Structures are given as C-alpha cells and as structure tokens.
C-alpha cells in the first residue's frame, strides 16, 4: 500500500544501508559492519586501480574460455589444452616482447577507455612457438620420447590444428594484454576490463594474416569537477525538519499509541466510519485521462485487507480520509483525488485518479480511563502518568537530536553532490547497485520469512537488473556523494589517528567472532577507514557551513 506520504528524510535503517557517512554509523562501526559484511561495502570508494599484471588469465578465460567444448581427441586433451596456453609471466618487464605493440587509446563515455591493440607478426610467431613447445612437453606422440622436439607438422596434426589455433590466440591475448594495459596503469578499475573483440574473428584474422588485433574497454578512475571550484567551503545549508522528529509531538504520539494498545477493538454496528476508528478495507485505483475516462490501474495504490487507522489519516493521500468518512461495513465508495506535486513517485505527481474503497470491517476502541493506574502498563517500571510522560519525553529528545543530526548530514551531502560533475564508470555503478540491492534483500529477510522460491526470485539477475534500472538515479546520486566526500578528504589533507582505526577494526572483528561469522580483515579495515574518513569530512564541512533549520 503506497498511499502513505513518505518523508524525504530517510529512515535510520535505509539511511544506514544507502549512506555510509552518517555519524550514527560511525558510533557503531563494528555493529554495522557485522550486519552487512556478506553483501554491502561501505561508500562509493573506487575499486583500487590495478596493475597490468592483474588483467592476466582470468580476464581472457572469462571472455574466451572454451575448455568445455567437445573435442574429437577425447577428454585428456582438455587437460593438455588448459596447460598449453602459457600463463602470463610474473612481471611485464621480465617478459619482454620481441617487438612493441601498437596501442591506440580512445576516451569513451562514463569514464571508460578503449584500447585498440595491434600485435606484430614477430610477437604472434613467438607465442605460437611457445604453444607448440608446451604441447610437446605434455603430449605423448607415438614414435617420440616425452619432452623431445617434435616436428611442427606432426605435433599440430596430433593435437589438431583448430586447437593449436585457439591456444595460440589465447596465448597472444594473455601475454600481450598486460603490456597493452600499461598505458592505463594506476587508472584502470579492477574487474572492469572487457575484451570486446570477437574470438572467432580473431581466430580467422590470425589464421589468415599471422597477426592479431583486438580491442579492450576498461573503466578508469573518474575525474571530479567542482562547480563552483571549492564550492564546498563555507556552504549555506538549509535543513528541512519534519514534524515527525519534533520531540514534543513524538512523545504525544508514542503515549497515544501505547494508550490505544490497551483498548479492546469492538465492532461498529449502528454508524459509519469516524476519526478514531479502525477499518479493514480493499482499495483499488485507476488513472483518469484528460478526457475524463479511466485509464490504467495504479498497482502501488492498491491493497487488499488494508488496516486503516483513521488517527493516522494525515499520513495518507490528502483527501482520502475525508472521502471515506461515514462509510459503513459492507459499503463501497468511489471518488476522485489528485496526487500532490510532492508525491514521492514522479510518474504520479499531479495525476488524477479514481479510487474505489470497499469497507470489509469497522471497529472502534473501547479505551480504559487514562490515570495513574495505567502507568506500569504504559511503560513498565513507572508508577504515575507524569513519570511515563517524563521518561518518554527524555527518549524523544534523544531521538530528535539524532534525527536532526542525520537530517543535517543528509542536507550537507546532498549539497556537495549537486556541486560535483563526474562520469560514473558502469562497473562502479553496477557494483554499488548490487551491494545496495543486497542490503535491501537482507532487510527483507530480516523482516519476513522468505520461501526458497521467493528468495530465488528476488536473487535472480532479472530482479537485480530491474532494481538497478528503477533505482538508477538514487544509486548515481549516492556514488556522487561518496566520491565527493573522498575527494574532499584528500584535498583538505584530513586524517584520523591510527589508534582510532585500530580500535574500530578490533571492535568490528570481535563482533564477527562473537557471531561466528567469517570475515576478511583487510576488507573490514577498508570499510572502517571509509566510515572514519566520511565522518571527518562531515565534521569539517559542518564546522564551516552556515546551517539554517526550517520546519515544514
């Protein structure tokens, strides 16, 4: 049921999952790390730039692995073929090529670079000879002793020309790719490299020309541009505070909720719905076109068996409560409302809609007299209503301070995001998006029991892709915020103490051990470091900002 008005201030849980730099997280680093380690990494820190050597076998094998193909020479050749593609040497400098590669770099959108690589014939021939040598070492060719030199035509005929050709092309790729990547050393992002050339096309070209050309696309560290330059210094920030975080009103709401929980629900018989009642309703809604005809259904505004507490009517679509006031159990009402321009779903803003509400059941609360005798039931340990109110008031004051601090952090982060211009690499977007989706999935699992089929459906690639598309703007904004924070930390030479880092890492690890969870100590350290960096940046920004609070 999406009729409820959602505040622009995130809930604590959602804010933690989507924004790593809230102070409340910094105060509970170890707890947060434990809750999300299996899926969520903190922040938008870039994947570490990689060296050319890290592009080796896995990159080529993921793209062009063909060891599972059927082979006419039987299963043993799968093992031989796997070993016959020489791995990249331990160092690019040690593996000096017979001739230089020609590498042309072309800048592309979203902080990516295309490398067009031309491999000279002499390099291809050298790789071909290496492949033959490896096959000679591993093959038992009739009439020849193991590991002895076998004439080229015989070893090629024994192994099979197609497999030698494939092994040679793969060997050329594995050997030359690290050299080709030298031009983006220190800039390329890990796990972002893609060989975009077709393997069959490369096989064909090599077989005909005895040379090889291929193209590689790699994401690189994005360049941030501040507009205005140094605009994050001495900012003027306006923080909107909703009435839901007002301590006094929050205290009144909590006391009312606790009091209502003590009342018995009784069926309304002789009247219609009025404020204070609870109704069980079915809701359906369709759009209204410009010509007045009904259009499409609005799934997010539909609900079956919705428990509608009329005292919470101000949280619903404006006019909804007034439209159904007086409805009796068994009755149905149809009415028209307009979604306000502030509605969270952009596609519904300003949309006229026809609602139909079927009232299934109607209840009123039979409440006891509110006096000191209810104190212990309202709040265990309290003996008077005054004590209940004072205790709740103190709690709400603390909650208001924390909510105000979170709202301030959100406003500051939103403002610096708007100052940053950056092309976000696709690999970074997908990685962060999947982590955010993982965090959402953990929340769902924590709040309800999922069947295996439900979990499989929610974990499917289709579900993840849909999330990435529908949440593209949110994910992009958060990455921009986090990149901006990281840039400020470096620009202003901010730092935190080693003792602070060590203490928080130790606390986090102790949490993992306590709950018998596996962890990667290096990753935990990186995550804690990001959180501490974010906290330092927010502290630095707020000290220099002019902050104004307004209540909406």
Q: What is the pLDDT along the chain (552 residues), one digit of tens a residue?
A: 444 433 333 333 333 333 433 333 333 333 333 333 322 233 444 555 555 444 444 454 444 443 333 222 333 322 333 333 333 334 566 788 999 999 999 999 999 999 999 999 999 999 999 999 888 888 888 888 877 788 988 888 888 999 999 999 999 999 999 999 998 988 888 888 999 999 999 999 999 999 999 999 999 989 999 999 999 998 999 998 877 778 888 898 899 999 999 999 999 999 999 999 999 999 999 999 888 888 888 888 888 999 999 988 777 889 999 999 999 999 999 999 999 988 888 888 899 999 999 999 999 999 999 999 999 999 999 999 999 999 999 999 999 999 999 999 999 999 999 999 999 999 999 999 998 898 888 888 877 788 888 888 888 999 999 999 999 999 999 999 999 999 999 999 999 999 999 999 999 899 888 888 888 888 888 889 989 999 999 999 999 999 999 887
Tokens matching residue 33: 């790390």
Residue 25 parent element (H or E): helix 23-26
Q: pLDDT value at position 241?
A: 86
Tokens matching residue 462: 């289709």
Return all residues near 266 (Cβ < 8 A) that are at least 6 apart.
363, 364, 365, 366
Q: pLDDT value at position 92?
A: 64
Q: pLDDT value at position 359?
A: 95
63, 200 Cβ separation under 8 angstroms: no
Could you give the angle at the alpha carbon of 335 between the alpha carbons of 333 and 340, nearest 5°?
Answer: 135
SS3 552: coil
DSSP assignment of 299-340: GGG-EEEEEEEGGGGGGSSTTHHHHHTT--TT-EEEEEEE--
Q: pLDDT value at position 47?
A: 52
Q: pLDDT value at position 203?
A: 93
Q: pLDDT value at position 93?
A: 63
What spatial distance separates the first Cα and last Cα of the chain, rounded to whole Å?
24
Angle between helical axes of 521-544 and 498-514 (0-180°, round to 10): 130
Return all residues near 464 (Cβ < 8 A) that are at least 6 apart.
433, 434, 437
Nearest to 173 by CA among 236, 87, 246, 45: 87
User: Which residue intervals of 236-384 are DSSP H helices?
Assistant: 247-261, 320-324, 375-378
Q: How far apart are CA 97 and CA 125, in angstroms?
A: 11
Nearest to 220 by CA among 426, 435, 436: 426
Q: pLDDT value at position 30?
A: 37
Return all residues near 281 (Cβ < 8 A) that are at least 6 apart.
303, 306, 308, 324, 357, 358, 359, 360
Return all residues near 180 (Cβ < 8 A) that are at least 6 apart.
52, 101, 103, 115, 117, 216
Q: pLDDT value at position 225?
A: 94
Q: pLDDT value at position 493?
A: 95
Residues belonging to the chain: 552
**pTM score of the predicted model:** 0.64
Q: How far apart are CA 347 and CA 298, in angstroms?
A: 11
Q: How far apart are CA 197 and CA 345, in angstroms?
A: 41
């Amino acid at each position: 049921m999406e009729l409820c008005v959602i505040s622009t201030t995130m809930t604590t849980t959602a804010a933690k999952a989507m924004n790593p730099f809230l102070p409340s997280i910094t105060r509970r680093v170890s707890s947060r790390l434990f809750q999300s380690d299996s899926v969520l990494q903190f922040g938008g820190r870039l994947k570490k730039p990689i060296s050319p050597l890290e592009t080796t076998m896995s990159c080529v094998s993921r793209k062009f692995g063909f060891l599972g193909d059927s082979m006419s020479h039987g299963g043993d050749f799968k093992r031989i073929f796997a070993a016959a593609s020489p791995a990249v040497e331990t160092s690019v400098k040690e593996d000096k090529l017979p001739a230089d590669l020609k590498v042309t770099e072309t800048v592309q959108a979203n902080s990516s670079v295309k490398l067009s690589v031309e491999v000279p014939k002499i390099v291809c021939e050298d790789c071909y000879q290496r492949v033959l040598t490896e096959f000679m070492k591993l093959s038992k060719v009739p009439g020849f002793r193991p590991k002895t030199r076998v004439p080229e035509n015989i070893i090629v005929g024994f192994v099979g020309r197609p497999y030698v050709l494939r092994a040679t092309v793969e060997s050329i790729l594995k050997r030359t790719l690290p050299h080709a990547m030298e031009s983006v050393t220190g800039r390329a992002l890990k796990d972002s490299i893609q060989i975009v050339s077709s393997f069959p096309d490369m096989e064909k070209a090599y077989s005909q020309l005895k040379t090889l050309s291929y193209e590689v696309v790699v994401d690189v560290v994005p360049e941030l541009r501040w507009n205005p330059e140094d605009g994050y210094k001495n900012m003027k920030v306006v923080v909107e505070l909703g009435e839901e975080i007002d301590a006094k009103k929050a205290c009144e709401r909590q006391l009312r909720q606790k009091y209502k929980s003590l009342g018995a629900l009784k069926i309304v018989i002789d009247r219609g719905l009025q404020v204070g009642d609870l109704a069980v309703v079915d809701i359906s809604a369709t759009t209204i076109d410009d010509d007045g005809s009904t259009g499409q259904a609005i799934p997010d505004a539909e609900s079956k068996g919705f428990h509608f507490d009329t005292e919470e009517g101000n949280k619903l679509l404006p006019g909804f409560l007034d439209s159904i006031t007086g409805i009796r159990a068994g009755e149905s009402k149809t009415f028209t409302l307009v979604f306000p321009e502030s509605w969270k779903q952009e596609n519904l803003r300003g949309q006229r809609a026809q609602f139909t509400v079927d009232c299934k059941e109607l209840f009123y609360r039979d409440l006891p007299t509110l006096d000191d005798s209810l104190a212990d039931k309202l709040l265990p340990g309290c003996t008077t209503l005054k004590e209940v109110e004072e205790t709740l008031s103190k709690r709400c004051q603390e909650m208001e301070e924390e909510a105000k601090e979170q709202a301030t952090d959100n406003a500051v982060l939103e403002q610096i995001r708007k100052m940053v211009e950056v092309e976000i690499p696709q690999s970074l977007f997908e990685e962060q998006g999947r982590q955010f989706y993982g965090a959402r999935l953990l929340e769902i699992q924590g709040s309800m029991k999922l069947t295996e089929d439900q979990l499989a459906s929610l974990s499917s690639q289709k579900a993840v892709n849909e999330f990435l598309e529908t949440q593209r703007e949110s994910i992009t904004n958060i990455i921009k915020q986090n990149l901006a924070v990281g840039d400020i930390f470096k620009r202003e030479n901010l730092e935190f103490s080693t003792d602070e880092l060590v203490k928080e890492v130790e606390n986090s690890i102790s949490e993992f051990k306590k709950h018998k969870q596996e962890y990667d100590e290096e990753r935990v350290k990186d995550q804690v470091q990001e959180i501490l960096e974010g906290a330092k940046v927010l502290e630095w920004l707020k000290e220099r900002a002019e902050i104004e609070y307004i209540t909406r």
